[in-house]
Structure 1
Amino acid sequence: MSKLVLFCFPYAGGSGSIFNNWRNYLHHSIELQPIHYAGRGKRFQECCYQDMNEITNDIFENITGYINKSNYSFFGHSMGGLIAYELCKKMVSEGLHSPAHIFLSGIKPPNHVREKKVHNLPEKEFKEKIGKLNGTPKEILNNQELMDIYLPILRSDFKLIEEYEFSREGYKLNTSITAMYGKQDDITEEDMKKWTDFTSKDSQVRGYPGGHFFINENYIDIIDLINLTLVGRGGFYDQSYI
């Protein structure tokens, strides 16, 4: 059997390291490959992305070697889910096989109209906005030296989301979808059900306790679902690439 690779896409401001602990719970046949965005983590010296095309092209170039040799799936949270969706479209446009499955977490469908007023807010208002999302540790929010480093990254990521333009060209994926949401988030079950329109394959919606960053407190349950979906009986895993 060829190996199963799970590419994980972090949220705005996040780095691939947020998924490192997942290796302890993923099925032994699944190889975790966190996506590392430019401008942070091991790629700190690189410039942040300007738009969605730039980030999808960059990730495509970095993972193509795995795609040709492996069964693969995507997991993306928030901004990462939108990137994962666009990367799926690019895989098809480049003649590569689609992911076996895509897990989309805490992100509304791509045709949803997104606000275009957060990334360029004055610093005080911007910090208040990201603080309400509860995804940035207070140790960073309250440390001006760290915020001087972190704010440009966040502004770049929010700009990428807010200026994203949905294209209907190749919009429907040939990939099964699991859409996840936090029951206390402002993203609802009805929002996530709309992802059904973006695939010709099966889809399911799962809700978890918590707000926008529900994946932090529910990651073991989420990984159990990933394991079941990709390698368990009754899951969606596409056997055609084995």
Structure 2
Amino acid sequence: MASPSTPAGSWFRRFHPRPDAEVALVCLPHAGGAAGTYFSLSQRLSEDADVISAQYPGRQDRLREPCLESVRELASGAAPELDQLIAGRPFVLFGHSMGAAIAFELALSRRRDRARAPHALFLSGRGAPGRGIDRGIRLLDDDGLIAEVRRLAGTDSLVLDEPELVRLALPSLRADYAAAETYDPGPGAVVDSDVVALTGDADDNVGIDDAEHWREHTTGAFDLQVFEGGHFFLNDHEPRIAELLGTALRGARGVGAPGGEEDRAGPIRPGR
């Protein structure tokens, strides 16, 4: 994997830098994940956008920084640098699992601040607010927490087989689960961006109906995409997900043109 161009200590990494691209794709990893989770997706979409991936505190090259235990802290920490990287361009947010909650909170905060809204939100592997998010994983002992991560297969099993690496990873895993399980955006949590919910048909944590309820949290167009697989279905369906993101990114290019929001290349079409 190529080294990211963004220096350590900052919130975002670019693996295939395109700072001159017309649009940006901002990727938010799952609990326990890191920026490199999206290296392959960045490679696929580098011709379409400036792909920017979040690196949360408390892991890898930010290991010495304190972990954050709430989605709001993560979103507010990332927001200032995100504004600089977007630089007034249209952008799309993509988040998986905990990353979906952070993407939604970023969109909510931008709405409150009257900042440019994302052209689209891709919310993957997470049910809508209030849909069975808190399973108490954050309260398990270390062995129980690691067993849950193994079950989901979201972290490289080689890492989990190395006691020293597990020791380093546990604080960020526990903090991430605390953030993911306790997030509550409050009443009236609605964004104006188009929303695409993605879910696996065999995901024990997120039912199709849970993902469908994201429809209630946007005034824009809504689309539900169901894939074969469990919680990390995106590992097996990256080409199709890249295709969906590419379509949204091409549609976003017209947002900054004369006529503004009305120049988008049509709304996202509902469907599965």
The letter for the 1-side match of 2:202 is Q
Q: Given the alignment of the two structures, is residue 117 of structure 1 paired with residue 132 of structure 2, yes or no?
A: no
Q: Which of 182, 187, 194 is the aligned partner of 1:163?
A: 182
Shift of 1:14: 0.4
Matches for 1:83-98 after TM superposition, within 5 Å = 83-98=102-117
Cα distance change, pair 100–238 in 1 and its aligned pair in 2 (3 A): farther
Unaligned runs of 5+ in 1: none
2-structure distance, mates of 1:155, 1:180: 25
Q: Which of 133, 147, 172 is the aligned partner of 1:153?
A: 172
Q: Is the 8 A contact 1:74 1:99 kept in 2?
A: yes
SS in 2 for 1:119: helix
Deviation per CA, 1:163-222, whole angstroms, max 9, x where unpaired?
A: 2223124x1111001110111112222221111111111010111121101111211111
2:16 match: none
The letter for the 2-side match of 1:37 is Y
SS in 1 for 2:197: strand
Cα distance change, pair 44–229 in 1 and its aligned pair in 2 (3 A): same
How many residue pairs get aligned? The number is: 237
Deviation per CA, 1:210-242, whole angstroms, max 9, x where unpaired?
A: 1101111211111011112221xxx6x473323
Shift of 1:2: 6.8
2:7 match: none
Q: Which of 203, 217, 231 is the aligned partner of 1:185?
A: 203
The letter for the 1-side match of 2:192 is N
Larger deviation, residues 102-111 vs 23-32: 23-32
The letter for the 1-side match of 2:193 is T
Q: Given the alignment of the two structures, is residue 107 of structure 1 paired with residue 126 of structure 2, yes or no?
A: yes
Q: Given the alignment of the two structures, is residue 175 of structure 1 paired with residue 201 of structure 2, yes or no?
A: no
Cα RMSD, aligned residues only: 1.8
Q: Is the 8 A contact 2:48 2:249 kept in 1?
A: no
Cα distance change, pair 130–29 in 1 and its aligned pair in 2 (3 A): closer
1-structure distance, mates of 2:203, 2:136: 20
2:14 match: none
Q: Which of 194, 201, 206 is the aligned partner of 2:225?
A: 206
SS in 1 for 2:58: coil
Q: Which of 48, 57, 62 is the aligned partner of 2:76?
A: 57
The letter for the 2-side match of 1:175 is S
Q: Which of 188, 210, 215 is the aligned partner of 2:234?
A: 215
Q: Is the 8 A contact 1:68 1:96 kept in 2?
A: no
Q: Is the 8 A contact 1:116 1:163 kept in 2?
A: no
TM-score, normalised via structure 2 length: 0.82
Q: Given the alignment of the two structures, is residue 241 of structure 1 paired with residue 256 of structure 2, yes or no?
A: yes
Q: Is the 8 A contact 2:95 2:123 kept in 1?
A: yes
Shift of 1:58: 0.4
SS in 1 for 2:99: helix
The letter for the 1-side match of 2:104 is Y
1:126 match: 145
2-structure distance, mates of 1:198, 1:113: 16
The letter for the 1-side match of 2:224 is V
SS in 1 for 2:199: strand
Shift of 1:108: 0.4
SS in 2 for 1:13: coil
Shift of 1:27: 5.8
Deviation per CA, 1:55-94, whole angstroms, max 9, x where unpaired?
A: 1110112211134421111000000000100110111112
SS in 2 for 1:135: coil
TM-score, normalised via structure 1 length: 0.91
